[in-house]
Amino acid sequence: MMFHAMLSTLVRQLSLPQECLHEQGLDLQAGPFSLHIRERDQLVTLFIPLGDIQTPSLAAMADWPVLQLSRGSEQSTLLWSREWLDKLDVEILINLVSRMLHQAEALTLDNIQVDTRQPHGIPATIRG
């Protein structure tokens, strides 16, 4: 399945706003997290910037595709995963998006200041 067709199906199946789709991929605001999906040279990358958090070992997250944590030069942490386009389908992508958002939530739980005026939950269609 082509990348943009897969993203369109993902948006439709999860009842996400069409505005999150664009020429380069998908940008989704899910609660306090900003999920980005891009493709280059048949390699699909999903990433969520997490800010300055403590980075534990992700050894317990052995599901495929593997989730990774990287520290940037500005003390910013990035949760990401990468897989070849031909190894993905919509169901795997939905599962991966759900895993990433749940892991981002778990990693930042102690680092996020909860504002009681705004709900920060992950959309129910992604909670899986």
User: 89 and 96 in contact (C-beta within 8 Å)?
Assistant: no
Question: For residue 6, what is the enclosing H or E element?
Answer: helix 3-13
Q: What are the structural domain ranges in the chain?
A: 3-108
Q: Which helix (H) or strand (E) holds 102?
A: helix 90-108
CA distance 17 to 29: 10
The reported pTM is 0.76
pLDDT digits (tens, 9 = 90+) for 9-48: 999 999 999 999 999 999 999 888 999 999 999 999 999 9
Classify residue 15 as left (phi > 0), alpha (psi -120 to 50) or beta. Answer: left
Topology of the domain comprising 3-108: Yope Regulator; Chain: A, (3.30.1460)
Judge residue 83's burial from the number of C-beta atoms within 10 Å of its C-beta, 0-12 exposed, 13-18 middle, 19 or more buried.
Answer: middle
Q: pLDDT tens, 75-117?
A: 788 899 999 999 999 999 999 999 999 989 888 875 554 333 3
